[in-house]
Each structure stands twice: as structure tokens, then as C-alpha cells.
């Protein structure tokens, strides 16, 4: 049963994995907090959370959903070090204070290095909704490591730099029919290009395209779940189009003028007219121009 108090401000969907008897609960935040997805993976006796949202009301909705399962939280997995995916950890685990917060060393370093700057940028916008207490990952997994959580295998792959400076993905169960990729793949949304690793992002996407070809469903950090091959090839195309549009305007310079950013915005909105998160287009322009100028 889904409680209707705070969750009803977020979009909820439920994905039953009949082959190995687990359920993926998916919550999506509003556009104001970037249409971010967080997940609860419910098995026979327990729940594992994947990412924890950015602001307190969203994290409270996730906690309410957790309580509605009637099962204990046994772990939180953080897919990468952007605050819309880790900021709500303390709120979510308020009643389960000893659960491990699982991620990689690279992601933990990324959070530690950027957490103050993110707060300076976003707290004025969100005010009291910005969490005061932050909990960083405290259990690290290595590339290729498998953890069994309540009878379900989580097979982790440390992708290194891609969409962010360090990204994690994992498949689930013996059948590996499901994969979580954080923000390495968006679905029907503009990508977040600010971290300036777009070349390496393409390398990682092309690797994943081969490795995930037998996986049935890809769950992303932003957008609906879908077929891995289709979503990955669309993301590869998107990053390439963005790079090309920036390169045409930058002409080798390491940044774009405001006028050029407006032109980039128009060109990307024309190329992807139905995509959400258009505010990401201009925000990432200088990072990608700088990256291309150095390459």
C-alpha cells in the first residue's frame, strides 16, 4: 500500500521482477528538484535503497514509502556524487542508523570534494529543505565485487569518470535482468554536462552497450526505465550532438559567450524538442568547450 501524504507530490511506479521475486519501487521528484529517481528494492525480508534525493521533503517521501513496506532498510547504495542522489541519506536512514551506505572510494572522494560548494550553490534556493545533516558512503565496493543482500546478488561495476567524476553501476540477481546506471544514461532528458568528462562518458557508454546487451531493463537516475541497448545508443548520440554543437560555436575556445550559450540552447532544444531538464544545456557549455579545447 502506498501512503498518500507526501508521496503524492512525487511520481510513483512499481516494477515486479517475477523471475527472481523482488520488487523495484521507483519514486521521481518534481522538476524543481530535477526529476530525479530514487529506488527501493524490496526482497522477501528487507529493503535496499538506491540513491536518496536532494531535499528533505523528497527524502521524507522515500522514507514513508520504505515504512509502507513494513520491512527493515538494510543498505543504501549511492550511484554517484551529485547531491540529487546522496543528500537525503541522513533523512532516509533516521530509523535505521547502522545501515551501510555503499558506494565506491571514487564517489566518496567526489562527494567530499564538492559537498561544500554544492551547498553554497543550492542552499539559498532550497532554504530549510536543504538537509543540514549529510552522511557520506561508509562501505566501499570494488569493481567486479558482488554483495548478497537479503538473498539477492548485487554485481557492482566501477565505471570511473563518465557523467560525473566517478560513476557506479550494478546488475541484480542471478539472471542479471536489471541494471542501475545512475546518471550515465538519461531517458528523454537533457544530460548534465558540467563535469567535463564527455569524451570518457562516451567510452563508458560504448563499453556498457556491449556488456548490457542481455539485460532486460535499465533503471536511470532521470527518466523512465527502458531497454538498455536503445537508451544507451540514444545517450551516445546525445553526448555526440552536444559536443558537436559546442564545438561549432566555441571554435577551439575554452568557453562560450552568453549569446553562444543561448544559441546552443536553441539548437539542442530543436534537436530534442520533447526532452525535459533543458536548464542543463547552457550550464554544461563551458565545461565541454574547455574539455574539447584541451583534447
Residue ranges binding Zn ion (CB under 5 A):
82, 84, 183, 221
Smaller CB separation from Zn ion, 25 or 190 = 190
d(CA 8, CA 26): 13
173 vs 225, beta carbon nearer Zn ion: 225
| Nearer Cβ to Zn ion (57/221) | 221
Q: What does DSSP assign to residue 189?
A: B
Longest distance between any two alpha carbons in the chain, whole Å: 57
Q: Which is nearer to Zn ion, 42 or 183 (CB)?
A: 183
Instruction: Give the nearest distance from C-beta 186 to Zn ion in angstroms.
Output: 8
Angle in degrees, CA 11, 104, 27, rounded to 5: 5
Q: Which residues contact 265 (CB under 8 A, 6 or more apart)?
A: 278, 281, 282
CB of 260 to Zn ion, least distance (A): 25
The span from the CA of 22 to the CA of 44, in Å, is 7
* Cβ distance to Zn ion smaller for residue 195 or 245: 195
Closest separation between CB of residue 154 and Zn ion, Å?
A: 20
Candidates 285, 119, 105, 99; CA nearest to 191 is: 285
C-alpha cell at 12: 510513483
CB of 20 to Zn ion, least distance (A): 27
Rounded CA-CA distance 250/252 in Å is 5
Give min distance, CB of 37 to Zn ion, in A. 8
Amino acid at each position: 500500500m502506498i501512503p498518500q501524504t507526501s508521496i503524492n507530490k512525487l511520481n510513483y511506479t512499481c516494477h515486479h521482477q517475477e523471475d527472481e521475486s523482488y520488487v523495484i519501487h521507483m519514486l521521481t521528484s518534481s522538476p524543481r528538484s530535477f526529476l530525479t529517481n530514487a529506488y527501493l528494492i524490496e526482497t522477501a525480508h528487507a529493503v535496499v535503497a538506491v540513491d536518496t534525493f536532494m531535499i528533505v521533503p523528497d527524502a521524507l517521501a522515500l522514507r514513508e514509502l520504505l515504512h509502507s513496506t513494513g520491512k527493515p532498510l538494510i543498505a543504501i547504495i549511492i550511484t554517484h556524487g551529485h547531491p540529487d542522489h546522496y543528500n537525503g541519506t541522513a533523512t532516509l536512514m533516521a530509523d535505521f542508523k547502522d545501515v551501510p551506505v555503499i558506494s565506491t572510494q571514487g564517489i566518496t572522494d567526489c562527494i567530499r570534494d564538492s559537498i561544500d560548494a554544492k551547498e553554497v550553490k543550492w542552499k539559498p534556493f532550497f532554504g530549510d529543505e536543504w538537509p543540514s545533516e549529510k552522511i557520506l558512503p561508509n562501505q566501499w565496493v570494488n569493481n567486479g565485487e558482488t554483495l548478497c543482500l537479503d538473498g539477492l546478488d548485487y554485481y557492482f561495476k566501477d565505471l570511473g569518470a563518465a557523467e560525473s567524476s566517478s560513476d557506479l553501476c550494478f546488475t541484480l540477481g542471478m539472471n542479471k535482468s536489471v541494471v542501475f546506471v545512475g546518471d550515465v544514461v538519461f531517458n528523454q532528458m537533457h544530460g548534465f554536462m558540467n563535469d567535463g568528462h564527455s569524451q570518457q562518458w562516451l567510452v563508458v557508454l560504448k563499453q556498457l552497450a556491449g556488456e548490457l546487451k542481455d539485460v532486460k531493463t535499465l533503471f536511470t537516475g532521470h527518466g523512465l526505465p527502458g531497454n538498455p541497448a536503445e537508451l544507451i545508443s540514444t545517450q551516445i548520440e546525445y553526448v555526440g550532438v552536444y559536443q558537436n554543437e559546442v564545438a561549432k560555436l566555441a571554435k577551439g575556445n575554452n568557453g562560450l559567450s552568453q549569446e553562444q550559450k543561448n544559441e546552443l540552447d536553441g539548437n539542442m532544444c530543436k534537436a530534442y524538442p520533447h526532452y525535459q531538464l533543458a536548464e542543463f544545456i547552457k550550464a554544461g557549455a563551458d565545461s565541454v568547450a574547455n574539455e574539447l579545447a584541451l583534447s
